[in-house]
Amino acid sequence: MNSDVQQINRFFSKKRFRLTLIIVILGIAYVGASIGLGFQTHSLLNVQDGIAWLIQNFIPNEASKGYWNEILQQLFRTFLVAVAATTCAAIVSLFLAIVGAKTLTPAITVSWVIRAFSSLLRNIPIVAWAMILLFSFKQNDLTGFLALFFMTLGFLTRAFMETIEDFGTEKIQALQATGATYLQVIAQGLLPEIAVALMSWILYMIENNVRDATLVGLLTGTGIGFIFNLYFKSLRYGAAGLVVLSVIILVVSVELISNLIGRLLS
């Protein structure tokens, strides 16, 4: 009995030691980073003043209601850019994933090239894509579309490849044993089996791109991000707060619709 109690005490002592060690490491990391950046820790104690200012100035008022039409137009444009970029990237990603998946690729070299290509695309931040493309295509919707397209292409290609590989070599070989051709295996065996998973990834990226499109608009001077920047810099804080509220409503609505579609498909 005593040995059991001792083992329990040792177990909890190890847990407390590990927790204390983690807290100490995090504390040292924070202190080191704050010293290196010249961060004033006491500013955190006054964060409530900043929150109070936001509440006081960014709550939409009577004057901001006149901006509704312009906000809704730009919000709709932003949504269309996000959906268009996602759907176009999904089509290209599916082709690349089929060619690059280890279970379907014509050569392992092709698979590694496509994996490296998708990793490169998805590891470049959306802000970097927007800035790079901005110099070539200037401030327009095409720049935002391409920034979202390239990042989505990299992400969905890798996600689709993993989904296809989870389908299993055995199932593909079983279909081929029945006399099915390569295209028949893909069109009649693979795609119907993984359609729900593919749609889930596409819906997820639409949600993500609706949020990212706002940030891209700040950089490319288009969509809802542009008018938020315009209202904010012209000190029209009530209108800027209305923009934030409209973006929140759109993102939540898209997420709810995506969840509903996901439940219906499953």
pTM comes to 0.79
Per the structure, the count of domains in the chain is 2
70 and 26 both lie in a single domain: no
Interatomic CA distance for residues 113 and 160, integer angstroms: 15
82 and 151 both lie in a single domain: yes
Lowest mean pLDDT among 61-65, 70-74, 77-81, 205-209: 61-65
65 and 37 both lie in a single domain: no
CA angle at 108 for the pair 106 and 111, rounded to the nearest 5°: 85
Interatomic CA distance for residues 37 and 227, integer angstroms: 32
181 and 260 both lie in a single domain: yes
Sorting pLDDT into bands at 50, 70 and 90, what band is 4? low
109 and 237 both lie in a single domain: yes
Decide if pLDDT at 198 tops 60: yes
Structure confidence at residue 6 (pLDDT): 67
Structure confidence at residue 60 (pLDDT): 79
Decide if pLDDT at 1 tops 60: no
24 and 129 both lie in a single domain: no
Decide if pLDDT at 45 tops 80: no
Residue 55 inside a domain? The answer is no
Sorting pLDDT into bands at 50, 70 and 90, what band is 157? very high
188 and 218 both lie in a single domain: yes
3 and 129 both lie in a single domain: no
Given a contact cutoff of 8 angstroms between Cβ atoms, the answer to whether 186 and 104 are in contact is yes
pLDDT digits (tens, 9 = 90+) for 106-117: 888 988 999 999
Residue 17 inside a domain? The answer is yes
Domain that holds residue 94: 61-265
Interatomic CA distance for residues 134 and 40, integer angstroms: 35
Residue 54 inside a domain? The answer is no
